[in-house]
């Protein structure tokens, strides 16, 4: 999915039948990726607090609120709630030398049972309301810090178009969709992922562990 510089809003609509076709296609891809992931699953994920002697490799800060259209305020608030849950799931994750980090393995599927709500989701070139919408802001930030820290990018997919409200660097753009569109990187050393939210900002960092 090549990146583009076309801004879109929630007013854009799908073509007739697009939702049904997407649902069928996505379910087949989910089943296939699920089988692959089950065979490749490694050791359990480990999470630790940030040690005082850790070395910062890269960090990234991005504003949580970027929309100017008041009609989409509720969806932006939903996005922030979804980011809060996803960041908490990823924060503290340790990636051992030679190990591959998978966003979906760390975060798990975005469901209402976990507290995810309706946010903005970019699907097939259209901005739509969807449960878990907006977590791509976190994967974009993870992609940027992984790139700056010299990690090997194993899997990365660009958005089909540029969401309204901010510019996405096509070299680090990283969209996700459970579970077959993932963001993954491999680390040559032991690193810890940090992901937190302030009142106005998403903060992501990558630290080398001693």
Give the pLDDT confidence of 54-64 residue by residue, as tens digits.
Answer: 999 999 999 99
The segments of the chain whose pLDDT lies below 50 read 1-13
What is the rounded distance in angstroms from the CA atom of residue 75 to the CA atom of residue 128? 10
Domain spans, the chain: 7-208
- What's the pLDDT at 186? 98
- What's the pLDDT at 174? 95
Token reading at 151: 């990690």
User: What's the predicted TM-score (pTM) here?
Assistant: 0.82
- What's the pLDDT at 163? 58
- What's the pLDDT at 68? 76
Strands annotated E in the chain: 7-8, 46-47, 55-63, 93-95, 100-102, 118-123, 126-131, 152-155, 162-163, 184-186, 191-197, 201-208
CB within 8 Å of 59: residues ≥ 6 apart: 145, 194, 203, 204, 205, 206
> Distance between alpha carbon 174 and the CA centroid of its chain, in Å?
7
């Amino acid at each position: 999915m090549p990146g583009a510089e076309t801004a879109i809003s929630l007013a854009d609509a799908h073509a007739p039948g697009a939702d049904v076709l997407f649902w069928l296609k996505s379910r087949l891809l989910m089943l296939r990726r699920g089988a692959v992931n089950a065979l490749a699953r490694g050791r359990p994920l480990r999470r630790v607090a940030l040690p005082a002697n850790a070395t910062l490799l890269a960090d990234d800060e991005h504003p949580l609120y970027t929309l100017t259209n008041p009609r989409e305020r509720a969806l932006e608030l939903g996005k922030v709630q979804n980011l809060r849950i996803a960041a908490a799931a990823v924060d503290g994750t340790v990636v051992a030398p030679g190990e591959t980090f998978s966003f979906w393995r760390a975060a798990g599927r975005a469901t209402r049972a976990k507290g995810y709500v309706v946010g903005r989701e970019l699907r097939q070139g259209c901005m739509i309301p969807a449960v878990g919408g907006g977590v791509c802001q976190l994967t974009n930030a993870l992609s940027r810090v992984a790139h700056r820290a010299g990690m090997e990018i194993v899997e990365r997919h660009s958005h089909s178009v540029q969401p309204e409200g901010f510019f996405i660097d096509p070299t680090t753009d990283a969209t996700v969709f459970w579970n077959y569109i993932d963001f993954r990187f491999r680390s040559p050393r032991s690193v810890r992922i940090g992901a937190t939210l302030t009142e106005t900002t998403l903060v992501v960092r990558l630290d080398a562990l001693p």
